Amino acid sequence: MTMLLISLALAVASAEAPATQAACPATSVALTAELASWSTPKPLVAAKSADATSDAALTLGQAADLALSPTPDMRYAIRPSRPGGSVSHGGMAQFIVAKAGIYRVAIDSAAWLDVIADAKSLESVSHGDGPDCSGIRKMVDFKLAPGRYLLQIAGNGAPKVRVLVTSVPAA
Amino acid sequence: MRLCGSAALLVTAALFAGAIVARSPWAAAADAPVRAAPVENAARIALGRRLFYDADLSIDGSMACATCHEQAHGFADGNSTHAGVTGEPGRRNVQTLANVARRKSLTWGDATIRSLEAQALVPIMGEHPVEMGMKGQEAELARRLGANACYGKLFRAAFPEAGGAIDMRTVTLALAAFQRTLISADAPADRFAKGEASAISLAARTGATLFRQNCASCHSGPDFTDDRFHCVAIEKSDGRDAGLGEISRRVDDNGKFRTPSLRNVAVSAPYFHDGASRTLEAAIRRHRGIALKGGQEARVIAYLHALTDETFLTDKRFAYPDEACEAS
């Protein structure tokens, strides 16, 4: 018993304490250069089908507020792993990569997203939350070669989603 | 502010550990039956599976049961907590559904919830925090599901006695029927227990012995949980989550949380009720009264990895269903 209590005392010092969540400041937080356009999005209407994305082109490094369509109206390029319910929204847009590297897709919701090439969803190389208090809900990174890609967003709770596709600086 | 638990609890734990030390954790794992749904409930299971993956069970259509309970993570989650449809942060880490049919208690801190049907209402309709946000939306749920021809057929096949009624009762009955099929019994540790000597490494075998000596007073039985509520974290409670005490209103229950099952634990990080322990090492070190020396911790972790059931993680019967309707 004594040994148990000694162990307890030693272990307390190395405990991993639960993280606390700080309140966000009233003003917007500063973002790194690759995310800087997050607070100045441009409007864009997302496509309902893969063959209609020519009018829904994202510019790398420029955030966009994508207007989405009701999920029942969507004709996705591939079946999303999480398509969302009948009252959710989805959309597709294309972007072009000129230089090979790691590219990040940041969005302000928890919607399901696929980056598609050759009718296949690409595996992400990492994912995580956005910077605290930035409004970015999640960020997913992909290793991309030069070419044209389709961004497919599914199961969004709102009819609009903010999205930014941007290159990730080499570490 | 109080230190979770008491010295008296440690005495109890030590005595209890003595009582179970002769029992191998894997011996129990091999043979304990999991209550499977009857064959005649096939339609109900198929319906429950489809509902489990359907985000129309959330107010804005963005969140399904499977959003948090991912098969690749043993039907747990890879996040500390999971925000709900309103963006309200989650309070507690998502627990596995492996062998959930065998659980005598459900949820981290509510001993009164003892059926899967009742548990389903917590995420669907709960407000502390809001997860799927459907409180007061039963009619809307019935409208959404009723507009889907496949659901019409499935509800009629699953609930003929109720005329195929689509309501919260039949929805939760079907969800529970599917969850009772989520049986994990083919981890390397299970195969070792059945006599396959090479199923786990020597380190894992040593780890099993250490596990039995240090962990199995609470992480007991075939799913490595006693289904009871304990206060094991070494840090002081910050008062944000009283655990069992939040429901029971007993001061002695503050800081107590249900022992989580450890099946597929290696693929369900992070750990603890708050998801604040990011690794198995951190989780082990957060337990009071456990002090593993030298390479002991690594051996226990090797054993915990032997609880990963790849068959369960990839079983197509549990996956997102095809678009084709199961009922004609």
| Reduced 3-state DSSP string for chain A | CHHHHHHHHHHHHCCCCCCCCCCCCCCCCCCCHHHHHHHCCEEEECECEHHHHHHCECCCCCCEEEECEEHHHCECCCCCCCCCCCCCEEEEEEEEECCCEEEEEEECCCCEEEEEECCEECCCCEEECCCCCCCCCEEEEEEECCEEEEEEEEEECCCEEEEEEEECCCC
A9 contacts chain B (CB < 8 A): no
Q: Is the pLDDT of residue B20 over 80?
A: no
Rounded Cα distance between B198 and B169, Å, is: 47
Residues B16 and B53 in one domain: no
| Chain B contact probe: residue of A82, A121, A160, A161 with most B CBs at under 10 A | A82
Is residue B222 included in any domain, yes or no?
yes
Q: Do both B26 and B50 map to the same domain?
A: no
Q: Do A21 and B89 touch (CB under 8 A)?
A: yes
Span B132-139, mean pLDDT? 96
Q: Say whether both B13 and B133 belong to one domain.
A: no
Is residue B324 in a domain? no
Q: Look at B33-42, B117-126, B294-303 and tell me which has the smallest mean pLDDT.
A: B33-42
Query: Do B154 and B212 lie in a common domain?
Result: no
Checking if the pLDDT of A154 tops 50, the result is: yes
Q: Is B124 domain-assigned?
A: yes
User: Closest residue of A to B233, CA-based?
Assistant: A15
Confidence band for B218, pLDDT divided at 50, 70 and 90:
very high
Q: Could you tell me which residues come within 8 angstroms of residue B165 by beta carbon, excluding any fewer than 6 positions away?
A: B155, B159
Closest Cβ opposite residue A19 in set B7, B276, B289: B276
What's the rounded mean pLDDT across residues B16-20? Answer: 32
The pLDDT of residue A22 is: 58
Section A69-95 average pLDDT? 96
CATH number at residue B26: 1.10.760.10
Contacts of A158 in chain B (CB under 8 A): 60
B18-45: average pLDDT? 54
Nearest to B60 among A7, A79, A88 (CB): A88
- Considering only CB atoms, which chain A residues are within 8 Å of B234? 8, 11-12, 15
Let me know whether B151 and B249 are in one domain: no
Whether the predicted interface score ipTM is above 0.85 = no
Last residue of a domain, one of B132, B150, B183: B183
Q: Is residue B216 part of a domain?
A: yes
> Of B122, B148, B183, which residue is a domain's last?
B183
- Domain map (residue ranges) of chain A: 33-167
Mean pLDDT of B166-174: 97
- For B311-327, what is the mean pLDDT? 93
Interface test with A, best of B60, B130, B257 (most A CBs within 10 A): B60
C-alpha to C-alpha distance for A117 and A106, rounded to whole angstroms: 19
Residues B131 and B199 in one domain: no
What is the pLDDT confidence band of residue B15, given thresholds at 50, 70 and 90?
very low
> What is the pLDDT at residue A45?
98
- pTM of the shown model: 0.86
**Domain region containing B288:** 2-31+187-308
Asked if A158 is an interface residue toward chain B (Cβ–Cβ < 8 A), one would say yes
Q: Is A8 on the interface with B (CB under 8 A)?
A: yes
Four-way CATH pick for A33-167: 3.10.180.10, 3.30.420.40, 2.60.120.380, 3.30.2010.10: 2.60.120.380
- Is residue A103 scored above 60 in pLDDT? yes
Q: What percent of chain B has pLDDT over 70?
A: 88
Closest among B192, B314, B237 to B6, alpha carbons compared: B237
pLDDT of residue A170: 80
pLDDT for B261-283, tens place per residue? Answer: 999 999 999 999 999 999 999 99
